[in-house]
């Protein structure tokens, strides 16, 4: 199994410096990862490094809390695409979801998808804060808003991806939307299990270690 084609090689730490982003980009090229995932402020830098490679550039919107206004998220998304992003990973408004107002959630997702057009939209639902009914509601909202992916976690919550959450999300997504598992994926066995459960992407900062262990 070629894990590299599932990996969004990720660096979203608040302490990330330009040289760290440069290193991430070079690792992504060397290992032929499908994408990198970085803060928006480093998009132009990443684009300059990756312009001749096949590595896609993903960034985050409304990150990590999701509590920004829809207008702010739409602006962030449009700005990200203008600066070179191929993909946008947005965070839903978790508090509003928990009130049961799913219309707000899917409207926001739809607005962002409309703003970025054919570019890939991944919707982070932050599963660690949701019960199963809320997870299902969030996935259905992502589906209704025409998202390309639903994603488990920011990596900044109280927990990351779990096998159970991915199974639940895949049930809702079916073949109409892809699933990205993110947060806490640090070894090859875990990565393979997620792929077997049907995920199309793995968000991890341990991508290099995963492919090294694959070769050994």
Provide the residue ranges of all domains of the chain, joining segments of one domain with +. Answer: 10-179
180 is catalytic: yes
Write down the residue that tokens 């792929």 correspond to: 195
CA–CA dist 44, 183 (Å, integer): 25
Output the six-digit token pair for 176. 């109409």
User: CB of 162 within 8 A of CB of 127?
Assistant: yes
44 is catalytic: no
Output the six-digit token pair for 109. 């997702």
Q: In the CATH hierarchy, which top-level class contains the domain 10-179?
A: alpha beta
- Catalytic choice (151, 165, 170, 178): 151
Residue 1 has pLDDT above 80, yes or no: no
CA–CA dist 75, 2 (Å, integer): 36
98 is catalytic: no
CA–CA dist 134, 145 (Å, integer): 16
Q: Provide the pLDDT for residue 215.
A: 67
Taking the complete model, does pTM exceed 0.85, yes or no? yes
Strands 35-38, 87-91: parallel, antiparallel or unpaired by DSSP?
Answer: unpaired
Residue 214 has pLDDT above 80, yes or no: no
Strands 149-151, 178-182: parallel, antiparallel or unpaired by DSSP?
Answer: parallel
């Amino acid at each position: 199994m070629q894990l590299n084609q599932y990996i969004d090689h990720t660096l979203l730490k608040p302490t990330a410096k330009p040289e760290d982003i440069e290193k991430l980009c070079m690792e992504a090229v060397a290992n032929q990862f499908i994408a990198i995932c970085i803060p928006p402020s480093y998009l132009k830098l990443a684009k300059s490094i990756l312009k001749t490679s096949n590595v896609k550039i993903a960034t985050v919107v409304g990150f990590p809390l999701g509590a920004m206004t829809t207008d702010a998220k739409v602006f962030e998304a449009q700005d990200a695409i203008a600066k070179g992003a191929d993909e946008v990973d947005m965070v839903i408004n978790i508090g509003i979801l928990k009130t049961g107002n799913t219309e707000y959630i899917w409207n926001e997702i739809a607005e962002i998808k409309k703003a970025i057009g054919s570019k890939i939209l991944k919707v982070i639902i932050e599963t660690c804060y949701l019960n199963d009914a809320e997870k299902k509601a969030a996935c259905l909202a992502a589906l209704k808003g025409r998202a390309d992916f639903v994603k488990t976690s920011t990596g900044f919550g109280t927990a990351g991806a779990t096998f159970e959450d991915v199974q639940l999300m895949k049930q809702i997504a079916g073949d109409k939307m892809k699933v990205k598992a993110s947060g806490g994926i640090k070894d090859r066995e875990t990565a393979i299990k997620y792929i077997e459960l049907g995920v199309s992407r793995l968000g991890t900062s341990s991508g290099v270690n995963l492919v090294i262990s694959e070769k050994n």
